Chains A and B, each alone.
Chain A
């Protein structure tokens, strides 16, 4: 479990990091919390010539209230996402999902932005961020650019972040007053999601006014369950309507088959877990 030799730099600012990145060429990796990169380097599945450690850039960590949205630094650790009062008040879905990531050690080292850029389809943060219609803020040699969550995740371990760019912040609209739940299905406690469902609902009286549903590990990228969202919008708040709407959860999905289940099983799970996530989010 010894990685190949590599050069290492730990810049103090984003500007400095961008400079190092530009100078390093193709064979470079950015190190955030290291909970994915370091294992793959130790297994020699990755052997970058250079590693740029973002851990000393203070401006990349923390949660800020920007009025109608929260701006979350990419280097904010999962533990902080799970416990931050602003997130709990305005986007509780993120807190609930972050609390299910791996184990306490990983949650203290692993970062929000690192997990999103890693873009593992079984990771627990992409689907909630997609459901929340967040905006990704990227710093690059030509300045800053913004990418909508719907455009950010492009495939297995692939995002809109270009060579030479760094994800600095994630801007998440406020969902104050919405109910939220992250329903994660695993075989053992510490495992990647086999399937998970991120749900937010806004209930008005006895009616579901709006819903946002994100699916984890149902394709090479996180997905929105738009058919479920549409079926729920304006529907009466009952278990029956939720169950009926959730029957659309697998539409448009393309899940993988592996040791934990084949695609048909995952499609079935998506329906069951969506029902459960929405019921929990709605407080039924």
Chain B
């Protein structure tokens, strides 16, 4: 393959229409006769619904219909959970419109269908719902005690307990012996605060029921999965549902789900027989879209006195919120394989308890389980370094897998195919100026500078390229992890690529065009990428888990290779040569040892006309491929943060941020850079800014962007980013995935840096987000309790 496109920092072909306002988001869609929906939502976090009076709303001007839970009880079914992590996993029924009981504030209790969005909104206030309030359980640790139940239909808040034990799995030693014989034992509890994905485009749905095949446009990451779930849940033949994800303005996992509003809009449209649209407000999005993280992590780390870790025991409480979303139950499990991170731990055990509370349900949020794991272990490595009085980098190096030890089977049972932690770390240290910053840190401490300096380290890895279908099966996930692509050769030699990876901002159109342009030797501009419509791309498993390039991209390449093999047959026939003598390069087939050649475009037209093809040749070059990865890919990197803490105010500032990521072979460096920057912003946001806060009654206090603090450009530093390139050996491109790397790595780097700045003042831990008031309170508490450790 002649490479001219792979590795090229092309501007994205998607961007022109997005940045000039020619985008087509779902809410931009208007259909003839379209009606508008508005939702009546419960103000209570837990209550019995005693009556729903819709009379006044129904007679409000412009209102066409009002649907209650009782109205749709027979058809709505229950939103599915497709990841039963244990055979005895418990889940309450999850109706789209609550019928008898609501279990979180924001749950839909009725839906208005009206001729305008304003009329629908006006009528919301006219629906009179009577509630009998029930006790709420908001705190995760309290929920685990079962003193208050989140659902009256369940006898416990425990959904499932999932255990991995390296001794039992045969991947390592038993943990009990490691802990019992520990020379040093570190025990810590970390709180992964609840986060809100806060994608830029709120969720929006349009349903057209006027044809035999119902069409749904939805701002979703997963149109293919949505189509299947709609069919299964509502009993509609799958072939009678078409789902389109048009331009989708971000997701971050928040649209890796199916939502009540999708079902409600479809049911409403079928009832009234007219197209219907629902677009949530930002407040609704924050309140009733799924949230992420929300775990309590209790860890025990055993080590020798010279800093060799001998075992890790993890006990998780994972907040499911009020219901099990599509894959919410499995998110902590995605992290379960990453607590050992880049290290050679000999013994490991993890127990995860999935717990219900009266909060919005949880699901994937950028990184999905892996940021939680990475945070915990990278914090623990710093804690151990402090305990041992050892440099935190030296401690990591003592325990990490050396580059010559790959492939390496970890204590969690994964086979890491490749990596070079030494190279990434060395490069990061050089860019960071580690020694100079350490010297400045000493100086500031000695002069008692009001602004103290800390250095935070995070050496992370993650599992990407979700996922080998057999592995998903072993984890009881209902679907596979393959991806589909089709490459179509038009008569002119132009190429259409159909991908099952439905993007929502990643730049697939550009990257896939680069892949195909190289492989088929056609100009980048001649490749068109189609996606996000189950009619044009009927097979797919969509975009999440940094899987698109390593799984979907491989499918594209495999389909392109099939095109070449088909065209080779025709080329041999046209040039009257043997197939074995035909070579393909730069878009041309040539006969070895001769000047004779024919271009792919000429073959394309010959196949189109089909006048003179080899006997038995099916007149088409179009090819399908479905790629099922044999292993995950394992990007890694070293992130270093220099953090300034103003000890007078508690204000935290990022002085310098350096990251060296190894994401394997890069198709488009510009896209990779963008993914790293965005990922860093979200990981930093968890460390310093964002938290979904509920009051004791169950109301979301951070229900708008006034209180839910998403950082913007002025709040973030200049990022120094660089890469090392250790190719993955599990796919032919050598790519690893980059969508989540920045988010996973940055949170512990920032918090480790904050603590490093103030640990000498007696501060031992600060809960995330490390807000100024929390940092100041921690400093005050340290003063009260005697300061220096």
Contact = CB atoms under 8 A, between A and B. Distances in A.
Interface of A: 1-2, 4-5, 43-44, 185, 187-192, 194, 259-262, 265, 268-269, 272-273
A188 B118 CA distance: 33
B96 to A, nearest CB: 23
Nearest to A271: B648
Contacts of B772: 185, 187, 194, 261, 265
A188 B712 contact: yes
B673 interface: no
Contact of A189 (B706, B712, B777): B712
Given A1-B281, A1-B282, A192-B706, A259 B693 contact: yes
A138 B651 CA distance: 41
B100 interface: no
B131 interface: no
A191 B709 CA distance: 9
B117 A2 contact: yes
Contacts of B689: 187-188
Interface string B705-717: 0110111101100
Interface in B633-661: 648-651
A268 B783 CA distance: 15
B712 A190 contact: yes
A19 B772 CA distance: 49
A188 B709 CA distance: 7
B476 interface: no
A7 B650 CA distance: 48
A273 B776 CA distance: 14
Nearest to B688: A187
B701 interface: yes
Given A259-B707, A272-B648, A2 B693 contact: no
Contacts of A273: 649
Contacts of B283: 43
Interface in B474-513: none
The 9 closest A-B pairs by CB, nearest first: A261-B773, A189-B714, A265-B773, A2-B121, A272-B648, A2-B118, A188-B715, A1-B281, A188-B709
Contacts of A259: 693, 701-702, 707
A261 B776 CA distance: 10
B152 interface: no
Nearest to B648: A272
B361 to A, nearest CB: 23
Contacts of B651: 185
Contacts of A260: 771, 773
B397 interface: no
Contacts of B122: 4-5
6 contacts: A4-B122, A5-B122, A190-B712, A192-B706, A194-B772, A261-B773
- Chief secondary structure at chain A's binding surface: loop
Contacts of B715: 188-189
Contacts, number: 55
Interface string B746-788: 0000000000000000000000000111001100000000000
Given A188-B710, A190-B712, 20 more contacts: A1-B281, A2-B117, A2-B121, A4-B122, A185-B651, A187-B689, A187-B771, A187-B772, A188-B689, A188-B709, A188-B714, A189-B714, A189-B715, A191-B709, A192-B706, A259-B702, A261-B773, A265-B772, A268-B776, A269-B649
Interface in B272-304: 281-283
Nearest to A272: B648
Contacts of A44: 125
Contacts of B707: 259
A235 B706 CA distance: 40
A268 B704 CA distance: 27
A131 to B, nearest CB: 21
Interface string B113-151: 000011001100100000000000000000000000000
B712 A265 contact: no
A193 to B, nearest CB: 13
Given A2-B121, A4-B122, A187-B689, A272 B649 contact: yes
Nearest to A190: B712
Nearest to B777: A265
B124 to A, nearest CB: 9
Contacts of B121: 2
A187 B709 contact: yes
Contacts of A2: 117-118, 121
A258 to B, nearest CB: 8
A199 to B, nearest CB: 17
A71 to B, nearest CB: 33
B709 A262 contact: no
Contacts of A4: 122
Nearest to A47: B125
Contacts of B704: 43
Nearest to B693: A259
Contacts of A262: 773
A194 B117 CA distance: 36
Nearest to B776: A265
Nearest to B710: A188
A3 B714 CA distance: 32
A5 B123 CA distance: 12
Contacts of A272: 648-649
Nearest to B649: A272
Nearest to A268: B776
A127 B188 CA distance: 45
A268 B118 CA distance: 46
Interface in B30-64: none
A259 B695 CA distance: 11
Contacts of A194: 772
A178 B715 CA distance: 32
Contacts of B702: 259
A120 to B, nearest CB: 11
Interface in B92-126: 117-118, 121-122, 125
Which one of A2, A185, A269 has the greatest number of beta carbons of chain B within 10 Å? A2
Contacts of B710: 188
Nearest to A269: B649
B545 to A, nearest CB: 29
B196 to A, nearest CB: 14
Contacts of B776: 265, 268
Nearest to A195: B649
Contacts of A189: 712, 714-715
Interface in B682-701: 688-689, 693, 701
Nearest to B650: A265
A263 to B, nearest CB: 11
Contacts of A261: 771-773
A87 to B, nearest CB: 25
Nearest to B646: A272
B448 to A, nearest CB: 15
A185 B646 CA distance: 12
A125 B121 CA distance: 35
Nearest to B283: A43
A265 B776 CA distance: 8
A188 B707 CA distance: 11
Nearest to B702: A259
Contacts of B688: 187
A266 to B, nearest CB: 9
Nearest to A276: B648
Contacts of B649: 185, 269, 272-273
Contacts of A188: 689, 709-712, 714-715
Nearest to A44: B125
Nearest to B706: A192
B33 to A, nearest CB: 20
A138 B781 CA distance: 49
Nearest to B36: A2
A131 B689 CA distance: 32
Nearest to B652: A187
Contacts of A268: 776
Nearest to B125: A44
Contacts of B118: 2, 5
Contacts of A191: 706, 709
